[in-house]
Amino acid sequence: MRRLVAESSLGIDDLVAPLFVRESIDAPVPIASLPGVSQHTVASLVLEAKRLASLGIGALVLFGVPTCKDPVGSGASDRDGVVQIALRQLRDDLGDEMVLIADLCLDEYTDHGHCGVLNDRGEVDNDATLVRYGEVAVAQAEAGAHLVAPSGMMDGQVAAIRAALDTSGHDDVGILAYSAKYASALYGPFRDAVDVTIAGGGDRKGYQQDPRNRREALEEVRLDIAEGADLVMVKPALAYLDVIAAVRAAVDVPVAAYNVSGEYAMVVAAAERGWIDRQAVALEHLGAIKRAGADVILTYFAAEVAEVLGG
């Protein structure tokens, strides 16, 4: 009876698994602050993708960890960069069995840890960064990405990427825009996962959103849709359920939400101490994100929740 009258339902089809691929390793490297998550080799990444597909998960989002970094994040658009190599192998082995989403940003590849190119004053140069984003998008599309996911929160990023993709003949590659990405304190474990440290102890408040604002998020979402975004995302998820609900009410495109690393790590840490039931809380949290209006949920719980939902 409870299932019959449930007002929302979490399904395997809602889940996207974030995965990390690291250059110059010969075995997966566990991420201490994300228990159960590893930096993969290309070979182990493919095996994990196949396992996820066998559980019914239809999409993954890929993050790269390069060996060498430089001021402009050259590895992000290098044909032989780690993500491009991994995408080609995934497409060869999986074809269209899974939707391959490539995170599109520069922070993993820059030696200063910012999401864009810096000017002479050490500030992110929005327009110069857009040029780099276009180059990265084309490289990812050519390697086999079905969707590119710009996460840098630069003004005009969706329009620049759409133009670059269309001009290069990749008009069938979609854009999942990180449209409402907040300057959150919940990203710590993720930065461990991609080996990112912001130079000089800086932050990203100059281009990520103020956690106190909701109307601003709606405006950012509208701008991205006007520029050609196919899906829009709110990040983080749990601390911004009101934003997810507001975005869902305001737009007709699919809405994604990222259940971020800090949200995952807190549940895992508490469960390891016996304070909460890990599985029950994971399902409750993801159910809340779904109830708020998310059509797509990026979560490190994807595999274990798919096992539960799949019976």
Active site residue 205: no
Q: How many CB atoms lie within 10 A of CB 149?
A: 27
Residue position matching structure tokens 């998820």: 237
Instruction: Characterize 33-68 residue by residue with b for buried, 16 or more Cβ atoms within 10 angstroms of its Cβ, and e for exposed.
Output: bbeebbbbbbebbbebbeebbebebbbbbbbbbbee
Q: How many CB atoms lie within 10 A of CB 129?
A: 26
CA dihedral over 48, 173, 240, 5, signed as positive or negative = negative
Cβ(157)–Cβ(178) under 8 Å?
no
Rounded to the nearest 5°, which phi and psi values hold at 30?
Answer: -60, 145
SS3 state at 60: strand
**H-type helices in the chain, by residue range?**
42-54, 82-94, 126-143, 157-167, 188-193, 215-227, 241-250, 261-272, 278-292, 302-309
Instruction: Exactly one of 69, 205, 235, 290 is catalytic; name it.
Output: 235
Rounded to whole angstroms, how far apart are CA atoms 99 and 91? 10
Cβ(131)–Cβ(163) under 8 Å?
no
Residue position matching structure tokens 């949920």: 297
Rounded to whole angstroms, how far apart are CA atoms 30 and 37? 6
Crossing angle of helices 215-227 and 241-250, rounded to 10°: 50
Active site residue 50: no
Cβ(51)–Cβ(111) under 8 Å?
no
Instruction: Exactly one of 69, 181, 205, 290 is catalytic; name it.
Output: 181
Active site residues: 181, 235
